[in-house]
Structure 1
Amino acid sequence: MGKIKVGLLFGGKSSEHEVSLQSAKNIMEAVDHERYEVTLIGIDKQGGWHLSSPDEYLIHENHPDKIELYKSNKNVAVVPGRVKDQIVHVTGSEALDQLDVIFPILHGPLGEDGSVQGMIRMANLPYVGPHVLSSAVCMDKDITKKLLQSAGFQVADWLTVKRSASSAPSFEEVENNLGVPFFIKPANQGSSVGVSKISTEAEYKEGLDKALQYDHKVMIEAFVEGREIECAVLGNDHPAASLAGEVLPNSDFYSYETKYIDENGASLKIPADLDEKVMENIRTQSVQAFEALECQGLARVDFFLKENGELIINEVNTLPGFTKISMYPKLWEASGISYPKLIEKLLNLAIERHHQDQALKNTVD
């Protein structure tokens, strides 16, 4: 049996472009190249797709604050409707070698929100991560909260402001509803992009302006005093949860720089120092939230653990970071699944789900 051919899709037209580049680098370093043949497809910030060489796909690859995609200008395109040869060179229109599965390690809008997932599904290829619906609803934090709340989970109180609204609530109104401090964040972003912690009226206006640079909808969210606990979920029909870990930021909150640039910006305690009963409750709720949002493949569920033991779900990430300081692979490593094995399991889950999808009827007797 030959090698399994994996298309690694990375970069993206997103504010989390650089995070994706780091994730791709780590996957390439960890994947079993004896078993998998990886085709690198980098997406630049303008949305162009580049067929890349393993020897030359990143610039400043060892500097997270300077990392860039190497634009090969060997552009590729996806042809929906084919049963094979779905990805082709634009020049000459010759097909790439048939890919067995796509790993879209894309974070943020146009990568994690169902857009790419829908396109890959139209191309009739297996792919890692949840389907279109769960990808979309988990990307939109406002919708995620509404669905989780309706399913009986505890979430932080929040208000939503849309760019199209005639006016945003005043600082006084927000303070009366949510208290101070509170957070402002774009509804459809991740990695703490565009997030501000607000304590004053001046900060409020500045925070709204900042968040609206990244999205048309903004969340104003109550501050929750509690420990930041994260749990990884893996699986399709029978998902399992890892041990939970704790984020111990060394700054005011877990910012983009803390997550991906400054290796000393936060400490990760894995597993978290938790009572056995609390740990099991977190793992159980993580799987339940994963299933309530109809996720498949993988997700990371983030909680606040209050002093009284109450668990508040903060968000659910359907394509969490795979950088060397990312929580998702570290949680599974602590739970007995190495990084290379985790990649293998994700690829197998993608192929398994695709076979199930292919077995569905698309004609009426």
Structure 2
Amino acid sequence: MLQRIVPVLLLFVLGDIYFYQAVVTLTASPLIHNLYWFIDILVLVSILSIVFLRKVVDIQHYVTGIITALLLVILPKVFSFPLLLLEDFTRIFRGFPSRSILLSEIVVGLAVLMFLLIVFGLTKGRHFYQVRKETLYFSDLPKAFDGFTITQLSDIHAGSLTNKKAVQRGIDLANAQQSDLLLFTGDMVNYTATEVDPWIKSLSLLKAPFGKFSILGNHDYGDYSRWDNTLQKEANLKRLKEAHAEMDFTLLLNDSVTLTHKGERISLIGVENWGKGGFHQYGDLNKATANVDKSMFKILMSHDPSHWDEVAVDHPQHMHLTLSGHTHGMQFGIELFGFKWSPIQYFYKQWAGLYERTGKYLYVNRGFGFHGLKGRVGVWPEITVLTLKTKA
């Protein structure tokens, strides 16, 4: 972990120093120079204060505030580093003349644009729902399911949601896809089952002719809350399972169902959460597929994409398509013109979008809601639509 964090911190520091050089090139005002370092020191002190205040404040909200400050104050400056570093290489051969005013203006302009993008992400980005569509071809897909469509939602995190009108827009957009099947791949709540209660009526409006199916994510078990006893924790999980039923979701807990269309069948499999790196491994794919014919076409719902990488892709039962979520794309990144980057990729090999290995597909949904960071920057909330086609 430290090996991954140190380069990121170093990049932040270098970006900060280089951006200051651009500011100095454009203005000699001591007031602006002092204000620049005052803000930087304030952010640094705030970060260090987490260590001392963690027992007297709500640490989760405090950390969220610090992350927000880092995004707004530090990150826009990072983009100055490669441009000004490149200029330094040319200045070496020119006797280190003064920095280009034009380049400094470009650097500051880019930082302002990045700042505005982050502000948008922290205010409107959390509900900037995007429909992402993929068409997948399989040689052994039953012909009756040729053209079958699936809408996937994931990571609703109801405890973070507050704007009912905005959330309803996302629900309406999901219904507008008119998919045959609707699947939810875990993390309905942040901490406790009661978080979903205000949203049951809204989420009940989600419709699909072949039904709505769901699984649990790592947040759904109550593992991140303090309970007086195990009975309380068990009651919380029981209530969440009841809430799924009240929203007309069929919850699959290491189990499977058969979907029949025009006399042909496919298998839908759902496992409980299975993760690596300290996450619980409640999922049991062997149990979930115990009654599934090996010859059937299979769709697997598994919240954490590391389960596909570690277990599902090499499982004796051929998992044609696995649907996951969990990563949120870290709610921060760049996705433009086919280029895709987020810090989460240094922790998860498969973190957003479509992946394929040996003819088996994984789709990682970027999440419908948000958690931790109160917004999304560059990695927008997602409604996935997958179309299954029979390969000729």
Please indicate the TM-score interval, normalised by the length of the shorter structure.
under 0.3
Higher helix share: 2
TM-score, structure 2 length as denominator? Answer: 0.27
TM-score, structure 1 length as denominator? Answer: 0.28
Higher strand share: 1
- Bigger RCO (CA 8 Å, 6+ sep): 2
